[in-house]
Chain A
Amino acid sequence: MPKHILLIDDEAPIREILVQTLKTKGYRISEAASAAEAESLVQRDPPDLVISDLQLEESDGLTMLAQFKAARPALPVILLTGVLFDREVVRDTLSKLVTSYLPKTTPLAKILEEVHRVLPP
């Protein structure tokens, strides 16, 4: 049974590339363009990993992730965003909500490595 990853980003081209990449590695991918869509998917088909952007069209990604973590504290989350955070911010603030933080400029190979690390196949 392939591992299930929920991918949340409001930019379709970003989702498309990530879906293509992750599918070649054997993961099952669900996509969401908004927080509402993501919440619905999480309830309907619980993922093994969430990869989410920070800035969504109608809500804040961190707020949405806080709700997910409240419901499933063990759910691994990778924050993949164009917003650049200092290491201290990541360590002191984001680490409570996300398993890993990656800037969007991170190469795909590194993103895959991080996905494998967080969610071993």
Chain B
Amino acid sequence: MNNQIVLRLTALLAIIAAICIAVAVVAIRNLGRAVAASDWVNHTHAVILALGEMRAAFHASDAALWTLAVAASPENEAGCREALASLQEQLAVAKALTRREPAPAAQINRLEALADARAGLTRDVLAAHRAGNSDRVRSLLAAATATGLPGEVRRLTEKLKLEQMELLATRDSEAYLQAQTTRWTVWSGVVLNLVLLGLAAWLVRDDIAARRRAAAVLQEANEQLEAKVRERTAELTRGNAQLAAEILERKWGAQALEHQLRYNELIINSITDLVLVLTKALNISRINPAVAHLTGFDSARIVNRPLPEFVRITAVPRHLQSSADPLGQVLKEGRDLHDVAALLSDRQGREIPVRLTLFPLRDGNKVVGGVAILRTDSTAA
């Protein structure tokens, strides 16, 4: 995978991760808000319920007071006290529920003041009743009626309840909007992530396709290389075999030539006649062992010396008598000279009678030297 693809994939995965984190953060935050809203709704319902209870307690205490006024009895006094206690209890609940909300708390305080007034009236009525002062009871009740306390209580509680209900409706709308926002956030994140994952998958697929193409090209190149290697190896093998054959051929040629030379030399060296190989200028270039044996000269003394220094013709053929150098004349003319009487000088200075035969050495039509063959002349002795 090339660096560009890696960078792109890394960037895409980083974006996907960021989106996931952002969606999770937003969702958790909205969840917290929803929980808070739910708590608040429960709280508001509790306030509304407490208001209703408080209003009922007011009515109950009012009813107990009038009952006591109509028929004073210990039971009705107890009922009055219980109704007042219940009213105080409901006020305490409503205060506790609205202690962090200034506006409702102020209205609850107002209700508390009304409840205190009602409690004071009840205590005054009870005292007048125990004292047997019926006029006082009637005047207190008349004064209480004139104040319109129950109506005030009803108006305040209704107002407070309506405010709470309006707040409840507002919070409900906000909660709905939050839920919608959460849904949109989550679904947008999911869709965006799916799109990005699709893009990443496309990049990976593209890279895999590129890799396959590269692998195919590489394989083809390898196959071509292997074919070339095989071809080259075969060429080298053939070349080696040919070279080995040539080397063997050369070794064989050298060996055969050496064998042939040795064999030819063996033939010449085995001859008891004296053999002297001559250059065209009649200088001795080679002798066989018989020459050294008869003359006492070693090869170094004779080779490269002129033949007439050692061999002298005693009976010059007629056709050569006019020549100052009859032996040279023979080679020059390319003729053979057969069995001519001659004298061979040895190391002690003696002259040995011999019979000389001289052949020109021909290379094609050209005379390149000669061979002198000497036999000891037994008849001369």
Binding site for B on A (CB under 8 A): 11, 13-14, 17-18, 20-21, 24, 82-83, 104-109
Contact = CB atoms under 8 A, between A and B. Distances in A.
Interface in B241-294: 241, 244-245, 248-249, 251-253, 255-257, 259-260, 263
Contacts of A20: 248
B337 to A, nearest CB: 26
A105 B260 contact: yes
A109 B256 contact: no
Given A13-B255, A104-B256, A105-B256, A83 B249 contact: no
A111 to B, nearest CB: 8
Contacts, number: 40
- B contact patch SS: helix
Interface string B223-241: 0000000000000000001
Contacts of A17: 248, 251-252, 255
Given A14-B255, A17-B255, A108 B249 contact: yes
A20 B259 CA distance: 19
A21 B260 contact: no
A18 B260 CA distance: 17
A107 B255 contact: no
Contact of A82 (B244, B249, B263): B263
A11 B248 contact: no
B252 A108 contact: yes
13 contacts: A11-B259, A14-B256, A17-B252, A17-B255, A21-B245, A21-B248, A82-B260, A82-B263, A104-B256, A104-B260, A107-B249, A108-B249, A109-B249
Contacts of A24: 241, 244-245
A17 B254 CA distance: 11
Contact of B263 (A13, A83, A108): A83
A18 B251 CA distance: 10
A107 B252 CA distance: 7
A109 B250 CA distance: 11
A104 B253 contact: no
A13 B256 CA distance: 10
A-B pairs, top 4 by smallest CB distance, nearest first, are A104-B256, A82-B263, A108-B252, A108-B249
A14 B244 CA distance: 16
A117 to B, nearest CB: 18
A114 to B, nearest CB: 14
Contact of B259 (A21, A104, A106, A108): A104
A60 to B, nearest CB: 15
Contacts of B252: 17-18, 21, 107-108
A20 B253 CA distance: 15
B257 A105 contact: yes
B244 to A, nearest CB: 8
A101 to B, nearest CB: 15
A107 B260 contact: no
A24 B246 CA distance: 13
Contacts of A14: 255-256, 259
A107 B245 CA distance: 11
Contacts of A11: 255, 259
Contacts of B248: 17, 20-21, 108
A39 B38 CA distance: 123
A21 B244 CA distance: 9
Nearest to A84: B260
B196 to A, nearest CB: 71
Contacts of A108: 245, 248-249, 252
A21 B249 CA distance: 9
A20 B245 CA distance: 10
A18 B249 CA distance: 10
Given A14-B259, A21-B252, A109-B245, 4 more contacts: A24-B241, A24-B244, A107-B252, A109-B249
A83 B256 CA distance: 11
B238 to A, nearest CB: 13
A108 B248 CA distance: 8
A106 B241 CA distance: 20
Contacts of B255: 11, 13-14, 17
Contacts of A107: 249, 252-253
Contacts of A83: 263
B258 to A, nearest CB: 9
Interface string B179-203: 0000000000000000000000000
